[in-house]
Structure 1
Amino acid sequence: MALRQLMLSKKIEQRKAALAELLEQENGLNTRSAELEAAIDEAKDDEEIAAVEEAVSKLDADKTELAEKKGTLEGEIAALEGELEQLNSAAPSNQSRSTKNHDNEREANAMNRLQVRELLKSGEYYKRSEVTEFYEQFKNLRSVAGGELTIPEIVVNRIMDIMGDFTTLYPLVDKIQVKGTTRILVDSDTTAATWIEQSGAIPQGDVGTITNVDFDGFKVGKVTFVDNYLLQDSIINLDAYVTKKIARAIAKALDKAIVSGTGAANKQPAGVVPAIPAGNQVNIEADADLLKNLVKQIGLIDTGEDSVGEIVAVMKRQTYYNRLVEYSIQVDSNGNVVGKLPNLKNPDLLGLRVVFNNNLPADQVLFGDFQQYTLVERESITIDSSTHVKFSEDQTAFRGKGRFDGKPVKPAAFALVTITPEV
């Protein structure tokens, strides 16, 4: 590797290390924010309120400064990686054309979603050869009988990145990218490590803790119609329209599958709710003890026998407003608010993050550590077309297709609570 490339690699490494430190600082700021929230509730006189107010102002300033530093570092990393990529692609080589094409494809596949986001900000995304070539082929696809086009990885990453705008559960689950049918060995042994002598043998977990979890690749697709005039428009407009259409359709399908998918029998991922053990499914009454009885069910997951990740409460928006939002509002005898107001932008349940998902029925709350749900993403998304369905309306039908599978690898990491009318 040339000296310039080595220098760029070193700079990228240093900036990524600095970015990791900023992320640690961000975690500290989040902790301070939670502590200040508690301090606000506990403040009793003007002096205490003034002290908390000063701390809040300092926290806001620190958050702003941190956000600016993060933005600067992320921009520098994207720029350096872009420069390094250009140097690598321009480097002389004795490789054949087919080998070079393979290397270019591998570099594109290595581009993560954060990099794609930075390329979009700078406008470089629309100048990349794989993007321009894809949309040129996309425009001509309707003239190819039976043609099917594989979406390049950089566009796939853009689709998967903006899926978060249309889904609530996809960002929470554990995601892996694989090829073909996959068998994953999951060690379900959660016992503690064993202290032994220096020369002793480390004992293995209980026999039978290895579980085979098979994943297939079920197809999910969406047909969308594009006015033919848009096909002649700029690549920017076409990309925005097509990627959002595909992302929205796949996101909604995945969210529903994660909650209630019926599995291989119906050629779809297995959902969380059908897999929850009977002992983790509870009914409680909507009486004066609703909140207390509801949060007690978290103990079904967090038993103290094993460390768990973040537990979130998933529910229909209607359930939160009808049943739980009132517990965040405290008023005195005159109706004046004296307690914490609900944060409707970032709702919580006694500090536990609430995630809205309308695939759950009303009056059901799903508690869970969603890192215990594994979603398998196939490596490619394809698209094909038809000009016949809406020929008279001068529209072309495009069908985006992806392959996914998923299932809860630890069903006991979830609990379903159904709120029933008070008797």
Structure 2
Amino acid sequence: MKLTQKEIAELKREQTELETKRSELKEKCKNHRDMSVEDLNGVTENLRTVSERLDIIGEQLKDADVPEKRDVFNMIKDINGKEITAENYRSSAKYRDAFYRSFLNNKVAEADAEIMSFGKRAITDVNGGAVTSGGEYLVPQTTLNNVYYVIKQYGKLYSSITKYGFTGDVALPIGTAGTPTDNADGTTSLNFTFTEVKISQMAVVATIEVKNVLLRNSIPAFEQYLSNEIGKYIGILLENYVLSGSLSTSTFEGIITALKTAPSAAKTYSTMDWQQIANICAEVESPYGDNATWVMKRSTFFKKFFALTDAAGKPLVTVAPVQGQPGQDNFGAASPYLIAGQPVIFTSQMPDTDSILYGDLTTFVVNESGSFVIESNTSEKFSADKTVWRGKIYSGGKSLFAKDTFTYWSYEEA
């Protein structure tokens, strides 16, 4: 049986995973005294199934024809002469160029077929049954890096929240500390409760029209242009979803939307001064207030906060960029400003004039698929010699206990 290099690598990976699983199942069988008869039968059946699959894989690998060793002239190489393999192909310029040429020609050229085979998705449903991607090939690593770089620039708030990478929709058990119980013997018992938080994903899509001459001109330049435009729009969309959610679906529950839900916890202010800042800080208890971030438009910060002083006449705003604060990274995405010692993140997506969000951004949880997708449609703008390009990322999230972890204030004239 003839197997490709990629198929052999995939079988070996599966073999390793199954051998680990078989060892775990055997260990369970050794400790069968702690198991019911029904559970023991289930483990035994799983062990049998795993062993049978391992036998099949062993036979396939044993009987597989070893691919002929290609001479140095037939190896797929990158520009530095290094051989491109199933492990490193995605970072190569050769794969990148072949990926975009396939869009230009609406097919994979014969000369590109071998390296493109490395990136062909085994399945096109990248979201565990919830959303179908339609992307046949994995996006080049250089494109991914560029897109996420731009998303961080335009989605500073989104960059600082908590993100997981589970496949598809998930239900996460989230623990919170309750009121301690004082015991008669003088000790105190800590109480924890767990809430199951369900997070669904949706496709966050950016669509742009591009003249075909751009792709024909220079693939590296086109890749940079496409990454910038797609990353910009997706970053802004995600920022808006974190704050205000998605009205058409329940996959994003925005922080501000949750705070305004009846009974509303939203508040108003007419004057911003030292006392008002103290009032805002006092609304969020520890530990969330200790880890809080100020979120507002840049214009709000400079109009309402920048010139403020405390009761002793000292500036409330300091310029002290500290690595590790929410939103700060090597991409320069963070504001360097601190209000009363806590960081500020600027976003253009605040829904109300001069509104302010304050709280613990890590309590907004997102489940984001790791499979970014790029697609194209040449038929829609065929007469104009344009291609419609679409970038998609699958994400969804919600604020955990928003009214305990955040406070929201909008400006109202006195």
After superposition, residues 5-404 of structure 1 pair within 5 angstroms as 97-100=6-9, 129-131=89-91, 132-144=94-106, 148-152=135-139, 154=141, 155-189=143-177, 205-206=191-192, 209-262=193-246, 265-266=248-249, 268-276=251-259, 278=263, 280-286=265-271, 290-301=273-284, 303-304=285-286, 306=287, 310-327=291-308, 343=319, 346-360=336-350, 361-404=352-395
Distance apart, 1:293 and its partner CA? 1.6
Distance apart, 1:250 and its partner CA? 1.1
Distance apart, 1:418 and its partner CA? 2.0
How big is each residue's C-alpha offset from its partner over 1:101-160, in whole Å with a ceiling of 9 and x where there is no partner? 57899xxxxxxxxxxxxxxxx9999x8522432441332225449973343473435422
1:418 corresponds to which letter in structure 2? S
356-365 or 249-258, which deviates more: 356-365
Question: Per the alignment, do residues 307 and 382 of structure 1 end up closer, same or farther by CA in structure 2, a change over 3 Å counting?
Answer: closer
Distance apart, 1:366 and its partner CA? 0.3
- Asked if structure 2 preserves the Cα contact closer than 8 Å seen for 1:311 and 1:367, the reply is yes
Matched residue SS, 1:362:
coil
Q: Distance in 1 between matches of 2:11 and 2:96?
A: 16
Matched residue SS, 2:204:
strand
Question: Per the alignment, do residues 150 and 166 of structure 1 end up closer, same or farther by CA in structure 2, a change over 3 Å counting?
Answer: farther
How big is each residue's C-alpha offset from its partner over 1:378-421, in whole Å with a ceiling of 9 and x where there is no partner? 13122221123333432211111221101001311110012321
Question: Per the alignment, do residues 391 and 376 of structure 1 end up closer, same or farther by CA in structure 2, a change over 3 Å counting?
Answer: same
2:293 corresponds to which letter in structure 1? V
Q: Distance in 1 between matches of 2:275 and 2:301?
A: 15
Q: Distance in 2 between matches of 1:311 and 1:347?
A: 14
How big is each residue's C-alpha offset from its partner over 1:344-389, in whole Å with a ceiling of 9 and x where there is no partner? 9623323222211121122211001100001111131222211233
Matched residue SS, 1:266:
coil
Counterpart of 1:115? none
Instruction: Note the aligned Cα RMSD (angstroms).
Output: 4.0
More helix by share: 1
> Could you say which structure has the larger radius of gyration?
2
Gaps of at least 5 residues in structure 1 are: 1-93, 106-121, 196-201, 333-337
Counterpart of 1:46? none
1:129 corresponds to which letter in structure 2? Y
Matched residue SS, 1:99:
helix
Question: Per the alignment, do residues 339 and 359 of structure 1 end up closer, same or farther by CA in structure 2, a change over 3 Å counting?
Answer: closer
2:147 corresponds to which letter in structure 1? I
Distance apart, 1:280 and its partner CA? 4.1
- Asked if structure 1 preserves the Cα contact closer than 8 Å seen for 2:95 and 2:140, the reply is no
Q: Distance in 2 between matches of 1:294 and 1:326?
A: 13
Counterpart of 1:110? none
Matched residue SS, 2:102:
helix
409-418 or 251-260, which deviates more: 409-418
Q: Distance in 2 between matches of 1:184 and 1:363?
A: 35
Matched length: 294
- Asked if structure 1 preserves the Cα contact closer than 8 Å seen for 2:364 and 2:399, the reply is yes
- Asked if structure 2 preserves the Cα contact closer than 8 Å seen for 1:347 and 1:354, the reply is yes
Distance apart, 1:295 and its partner CA? 3.0
Q: Distance in 2 between matches of 1:226 and 1:350?
A: 47
Q: Distance in 2 between matches of 1:153 and 1:376?
A: 22
Q: Percent identity?
A: 18
